[in-house]
């Protein structure tokens, strides 16, 4: 126990000197931590910071978020990907806003949409300094190496037990749960990396079983290969005389519900359209490998009035800062279409990388 306590103390001291500034870390209110953890599910920290700041500016507290329309929430989430997170966050905000206080137990948090064991542990330990463990990819890597946890069917169970021991041991010796849990995440993100870990810079150098055995590359064990869902889709890029293109809002039961994208059926008679070509786009979105063909048409004559709740004419320049929520599929498609038609560049969007497990 003395060796483990020494390692915990060394890690906490290291974190105090090396932690990166993050807006939710600088002001760890329960609301800020909740928003950041929803955003950090499957998304890199560097990507999240800008979105977090913009989101908090628009929705500064849980009640403001709860009162907002889903459309407005999606608009300020657009670009982060994994849009089901935005829906779950909005529903969770509505439920919390009806409570007397922010939930302070694991059971209460786990009952809310979109919150799993990791997010519950993060909110409780970081916002309230309650000694709850957490386990994301970074903590998993650190603890599996330090404790040399072998790959087996109860691999995750063993890691959760180790994470619990670490945070409770720290707490019993006056080291805050917010410090030790964030320190484990920070160490995994910046030092104990998947490949070529900087072991000589690690505060757990002497405590690490995998480093001592020269086996850091064996921990954690390799995960099964990701199973991809293949998606083939055809959409229609219809331009009008003002070179604006037509978008359709996806319905509630469709994939990427609530987002605006090119229509997948022709909303106008084909006799009023002039074929201009087609563009093929390949992209990955979450677990989906998408093969998309965008058929390009110029609309001839004056367009009949369309339902504004379902259709929207967007100028190419708006893609740099969309006024309606749209995803990476549209942005990537329109970049290809604009290049093909020779009408200029549009903004591109980087697809999110996986990080958090909830």
CA triplet 178, 352, 257: central angle to 5 degrees?
Answer: 105
Compute the distance between CA of residue 99 and CA of residue 8 in angstroms, rounded to an integer. 36
SS3 track for 30-99: HHHHHHHHHHHCCCCHHHHHHHHHHHHHHCCCHHHHHHCCHHHHHHHHCCCCCCHHHHHHHHHHHHHHCC
Angle at 140 between CA 153 and CA 191, to 5 degrees: 150
Q: Is 327 in contact with 256 (CB distance < 8 Å)? A: yes
- Paired with 288 in beta bridges are 229, 285
**CA 127 to CA 125: how far, in whole Å?**
6
Known catalytic residue at 37: yes
Catalytic residue among 17, 37, 98, 186: 37
Residue 248: both structure tokens together: 């359709």
For residue 119, report the phi and psi dihedrals to the nearest 5 degrees: -65, -40
The residues annotated as belonging to the active site are 37
């Amino acid at each position: 126990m003395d060796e483990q306590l020494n390692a915990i103390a060394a890690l906490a001291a290291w974190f105090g000197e090396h932690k990166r500034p993050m807006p939710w870390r600088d002001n760890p209110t329960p609301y800020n931590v909740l928003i950041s953890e929803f955003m950090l599910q499957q998304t890199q920290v560097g990507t999240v910071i800008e979105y977090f700041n913009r989101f908090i500016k628009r929705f500064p507290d849980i009640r403001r978020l709860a009162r907002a329309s889903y459309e407005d929430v999606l608009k300020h989430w657009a670009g982060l990907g994994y849009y089901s997170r935005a829906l779950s966050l909005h529903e969770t905000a509505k439920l919390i806003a009806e409570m007397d206080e922010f939930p302070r137990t694991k059971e209460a948090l786990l009952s809310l949409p979109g919150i799993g064991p990791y997010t519950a542990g993060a909110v409780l330990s970081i916002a309230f300094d309650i000694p709850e463990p957490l386990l994301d990819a970074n903590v998993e890597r650190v603890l599996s190496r330090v404790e040399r946890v072998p790959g087996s069917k109860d691999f995750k169970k063993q890691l959760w037990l180790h994470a619990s021991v670490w945070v409770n041991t720290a707490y019993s010796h006056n080291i805050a749960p917010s410090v030790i849990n964030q320190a484990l995440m920070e160490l995994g993100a910046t030092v104990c990396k998947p490949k070529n870990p900087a072991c000589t810079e690690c505060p757990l150098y002497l405590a690490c079983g995998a480093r001592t055995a020269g086996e850091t590359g064996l921990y954690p064990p390799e995960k099964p290969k990701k199973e991809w869902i293949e998606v083939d889709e055809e959409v229609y890029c219809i331009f009008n005389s003002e070179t604006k293109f037509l978008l359709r809002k996806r319905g509630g039961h469709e994939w990427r519900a609530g987002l605006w994208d090119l229509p997948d059926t022709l909303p106008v008679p084909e006799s009023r359209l002039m074929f201009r070509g087609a563009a093929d786009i390949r992209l990955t979105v979450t677990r989906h490998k998408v093969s998309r063909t965008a058929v390009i048409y110029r609309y001839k004559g004056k367009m009949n009035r369309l339902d504004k709740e379902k259709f929207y004419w967007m100028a190419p320049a708006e893609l740099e800062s969309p006024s309606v929520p749209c995803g990476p599929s549209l942005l990537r498609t329109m970049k290809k279409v604009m290049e093909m038609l020779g009408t200029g560049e549009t903004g591109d969007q980087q697809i999110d990388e996986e990080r958090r497990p909830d």
